[in-house]
Amino acid sequence: MLQSTSIQYLKGIGPKRAKSFSARGINTIEDLLYYFPRRYEDRTNFSSISELKEGQVYTIKTEVLFGDQRNSWRRRSFSITEAVLADKTGKINCVWFNQPYLKEYLKPGVSLILYGKVELYNGRMQMNNPEYEFLDGEDDDSLNIGRIVPIYTLPKGASQRSMRRLIKSAMDEFLPKTKDCLTFDLRSRNNLLNLAQSLLNIHFPQDLALQKQALMRLSFEEFFIFQLPLVLRKLKRKEKKGIKHTVNGKLIEDFILQLPFKLTSAQQKVLEEIKTDMASGAAMQRLLQGDVGSGKTVVATIACLIAIQSGHQAAFMAPTEILARQHYAKITSQLAGLIFNGRKLRVGLLTGQDKQKEKIYQEVKEGRLDLIIGTHALLQEELNFKDLSFAIIDEQHKFGVGQRALLPRKGNNPDVLIMTATPIPRTLAITLYGDLDISVINELPAGRLPVKTLHFSQQNKEKAFAIARGELNYGRQAYIIYPVIEESYALDIAGAKKMFAELKEGQFKGFKLGLVHGKLKAKEQEEIMLKFRNKELDLLVSTTILEVGIDIPNATCMIVAHAERFGLSQLHQLRGRIGRGSLQSFCVLISDAQTEEARARLKAMVSSNDGFRISEEDLKIRGPGEFFGNRQHGLAELRLANPLTQMQLLRAARQEAIKLLNQDIRLEERPHQLLKEKLLQRFPEYEKLMLVG
Question: HSE (CB half, 13 Å, CA atoms) of 151?
Answer: 13
* Cα angle for residues 205, 18, 3 (degrees, 5° grid): 65
**What gap in Å lies between CA 60 and CA 116, rounded to an integer?**
9
First to last CA, the chain: 30
**What gap in Å lies between CA 394 and CA 549, rounded to an integer?**
10
All domains of the chain, ordered by start, with CATH? Answer: 46-138 (2.40.50.140), 263-441 (3.40.50.300), 452-608 (3.40.50.300)
The reported pLDDT for the residue numbered 548 is 56
The reported pLDDT for the residue numbered 444 is 79
**What gap in Å lies between CA 249 and CA 278, rounded to an integer?**
14
The pTM score is: 0.67
Work out the angle between the directed axes of helices 611-622 and 596-607 (0-180°, nearest 10). Answer: 170
**What gap in Å lies between CA 44 and CA 224, rounded to an integer?**
35
pLDDT digits (tens, 9 = 90+) for 245-255: 999 889 999 99
Q: Which residues contact 132 (CB under 8 A, 6 or more apart)?
A: 112, 113, 114, 115
- For residue 604, give Cα distances in angstroms to 275, 450, 454, 613: 36, 15, 11, 9
The reported pLDDT for the residue numbered 74 is 61
The reported pLDDT for the residue numbered 629 is 46
| List of long-range contacts for 460-467, beta carbons under 8 Å, 24+ apart | 461/561, 461/590, 462/507, 464/559, 464/588, 464/590, 465/507, 465/508, 465/559, 467/557, 467/559, 467/586, 467/588
Q: In what helix (H) or strand (E) does residue 133 lie, and over which residues does it extend?
A: strand 131-134
Q: Is 555 helix (H, G, I), strand (E, B) or coil?
A: strand
Q: Which residues contact 327 (CB under 8 A, 6 or more apart)?
A: 297, 316, 318, 373, 394, 549
Neighbouring-strand partners of residue 599:
none
Burial of 157 (0-12, 13-18, 19+ CB in 10 A): exposed
Q: Are 452 and 585 in contact (CB under 8 A)?
A: yes
Q: Which residues contact 52 (CB under 8 A, 6 or more apart)?
A: 58, 60, 92, 118, 125
Q: Are 421 and 296 in contact (CB under 8 A)?
A: yes
Burial of 188 (0-12, 13-18, 19+ CB in 10 A): exposed
Q: Is 365 helix (H, G, I), strand (E, B) or coil?
A: helix
| φ and ψ of 93, to 5 deg | -90, 145
Q: Where are the alpha helices (DSSP H) in 240-291?
A: 250-258, 265-280
Exposure letters 107-136 (e unless 16+ CB within 10 A, then b): eeebbbbbbbebeeeeeebbbebbebbebe
- Mean pLDDT in consecutive groups of 10 residues from the start of the chain, 693 residues: 76 83 90 92 87 91 90 72 94 90 90 90 89 70 80 88 90 90 96 96 94 96 90 78 90 92 93 95 89 88 96 92 86 90 92 84 94 92 93 72 71 90 71 80 82 93 94 95 68 70 91 88 83 92 72 91 87 87 92 85 90 78 55 56 85 93 89 89 72 50
Q: Is 121 helix (H, G, I), strand (E, B) or coil?
A: strand
**What gap in Å lies between CA 156 and CA 143, rounded to an integer?**
21
**What gap in Å lies between CA 489 and CA 487, rounded to an integer?**
6
Burial of 163 (0-12, 13-18, 19+ CB in 10 A): buried
| φ and ψ of 8, to 5 deg | -55, -30
**What gap in Å lies between CA 20 and CA 32, rounded to an integer?**
13
Q: Are 367 and 311 in contact (CB under 8 A)?
A: no
- For residue 384, give Cα distances in angstroms to 95, 311, 361, 411: 62, 17, 7, 9
- For residue 239, give Cα distances in angstroms to 221, 232, 233, 573, 685: 28, 11, 10, 38, 19
- The strand ranges marked E within 274-321 are 285-290, 313-317
| φ and ψ of 516, to 5 deg | -135, 135
User: How many residues comprise the chain?
Assistant: 693
Q: Which residues contact 121 (CB under 8 A, 6 or more apart)?
A: 93
Q: Which residues contact 656 (CB under 8 A, 6 or more apart)?
A: 186, 189, 190, 224
Maximum distance among all alpha carbons in the chain?
A: 92
Q: In what helix (H) or strand (E) does residue 690 lie, and over which residues does it extend?
A: helix 687-691
**What gap in Å lies between CA 191 and CA 210, rounded to an integer?**
13
Closest CA to 455 of 570, 572, 560, 611: 560
**What gap in Å lies between CA 386 and CA 368, rounded to an integer?**
9
- For residue 567, give Cα distances in angstroms to 562, 563, 623, 633: 11, 9, 12, 20
**What gap in Å lies between CA 98 and CA 93, rounded to an integer?**
17
Q: What does R_g of the chain's alpha carbons equal in angstroms?
A: 28
Closest CA to 39 of 681, 685, 436, 623: 623
**What gap in Å lies between CA 354 and CA 366, rounded to an integer?**
19
Please state, as a whole number, how many other Cβ atoms lie within 10 Å of the Cβ of residue 208. Answer: 12
Please state, as a whole number, how many other Cβ atoms lie within 10 Å of the Cβ of residue 84. Answer: 17
